[in-house]
């Protein structure tokens, strides 16, 4: 197929990442659709347009597995398309990311990554994992329960920052509840040592304050080689003292600058930046003033259909 019809499926305007979905669709030059914009007939998916129905060949979905098709998964889903999975089985539409690929993002799987590297690549990991404890191990469970107030607790099947408990910031009641939940289902939780996140000046209420942040780089695998894309996503925890950077938990984003040697430049550096809502800029210089983009304007109410869920993950 020389010119496939591509669409990006979003849960809708109440999703915390709706801005990113809209931006991605514009930059990719594809249609942005919600579940109600799609119809599946004769195991073929169409999107409703002002000029009639148009077939969809590729669907980049930003909807959780369990909400994607109410025929196959949760029947109460309002953000999916009935019949979508049957069309995919017949090969009449390609879904990216594929249903079920979130298993690779399982937090317990993370603990096995060093062993995977050694087994499959016959090499030692270059970057060490954050020290993570598998609570299904009785010895590790006993150790963790003895110092819950020093660790970070995460539900294995969680996403979007939901369910995370920062031990030293938790109340006695929260720690007691966590102890009960972990003891009842050790396999459903991991514990990690606290990582001291860096801070950066952030525009908050018209003035600069220090806020914790993290950097997410992106690696591309074309089947033959792997390379890291210039720039990346810098996420910032906007609540004072916060350590959870997810947008669904009140986080935001900041400009990302990569400074490298430039023998042709007058100051010896060349900067590459990626900005929310903009493409990469090469050779530009950072703005030293406050950045309104870090003020939290990207925060969105969590999609109402997903607000009550306790598990699941967002495809990414």
Q: What is the pLDDT of residues 86-133, one digit of tens each?
A: 999 999 999 998 898 877 778 899 999 999 999 999 999 999 999 999
Residue ranges per domain, the chain? 6-100, 107-195, 198-289
Confidence of residue 265 (pLDDT cuts 50, 70, 90): low
Q: Which fold has domain 107-195?
A: Dna Ligase; domain 1 (3.30.1490)
What does the pLDDT average to over 174-179?
96
- Residue 129 is classified by DSSP as P
User: Is this structure's pTM higher than 0.85?
Assistant: no
Please tell me which residue, 294 or 255, carries the higher pLDDT value. 255
Confidence of residue 218 (pLDDT cuts 50, 70, 90): confident
Tell me, letter by letter, the H, E, C secondary structure of 90-125.
CCCCEEECCCCHHHHHCHHHHCCHHHHHHHHHCCCC
> According to CATH, what is the number of the domain 6-100?
3.40.50.11290
Confidence of residue 264 (pLDDT cuts 50, 70, 90): low
Domains 6-100 and 107-195 share a fold: no
232 neighbors 213 (Cβ within 8 angstroms): no
Confidence of residue 77 (pLDDT cuts 50, 70, 90): very high
Instruction: Please state which of the ranges 27-41, 220-234, 246-260, 277-291 shows the lowest mean pLDDT.
Output: 277-291
pLDDT at 17: 81
């Amino acid at each position: 197929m020389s010119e496939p019809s591509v669409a990006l499926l979003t849960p809708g305007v109440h999703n915390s990442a709706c801005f990113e979905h809209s931006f991605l669709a514009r930059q990719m030059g594809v249609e942005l659709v919600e579940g109600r914009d799609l119809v599946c007939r004769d195991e073929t998916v169409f999107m409703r347009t002002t000029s009639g129905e148009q077939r969809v060949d590729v669907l980049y979905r930003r909807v959780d597995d369990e909400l994607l098709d109410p025929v196959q998964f949760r029947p109460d889903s309002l953000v999916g398309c009935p019949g979508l999975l049957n069309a995919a089985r017949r090969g009449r539409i390609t879904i990216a990311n594929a249903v079920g690929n979130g298993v690779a993002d399982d937090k317990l799987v993370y603990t096995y990554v060093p062993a995977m590297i050694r087994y499959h690549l016959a090499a030692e990991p270059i970057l060490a994992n954050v020290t993570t404890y598998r609570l299904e191990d009785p010895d590790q469970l006993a150790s963790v329960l003895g110092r819950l107030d020093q660790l970070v607790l995460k539900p294995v099947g969680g996403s979007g920052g939901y369910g995370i408990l920062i031990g030293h910031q938790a109340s006695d009641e929260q720690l007691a509840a966590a102890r009960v939940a972990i003891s009842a289902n050790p396999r459903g939780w991991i514990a990690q040592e606290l990582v001291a996140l860096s801070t950066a000046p952030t525009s908050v209420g018209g003035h600069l304050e220090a806020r914790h942040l993290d950097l997410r780089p992106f690696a591309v695998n074309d089947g033959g080689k792997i390379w890291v894309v210039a720039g990346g996503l810098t996420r910032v925890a906007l609540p004072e003292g916060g350590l959870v950077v997810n947008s669904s938990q009140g986080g935001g984003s900041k400009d990302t600058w990569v400074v490298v040697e430039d023998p042709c430049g007058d100051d010896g550096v060349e900067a590459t930046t990626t900005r929310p809502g903009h493409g990469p800029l090469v050779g530009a210089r950072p703005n030293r003033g406050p950045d309104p983009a870090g003020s939290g304007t990207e925060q969105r109410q969590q999609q109402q259909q997903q607000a009550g869920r306790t598990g699941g993950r967002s495809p990414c």
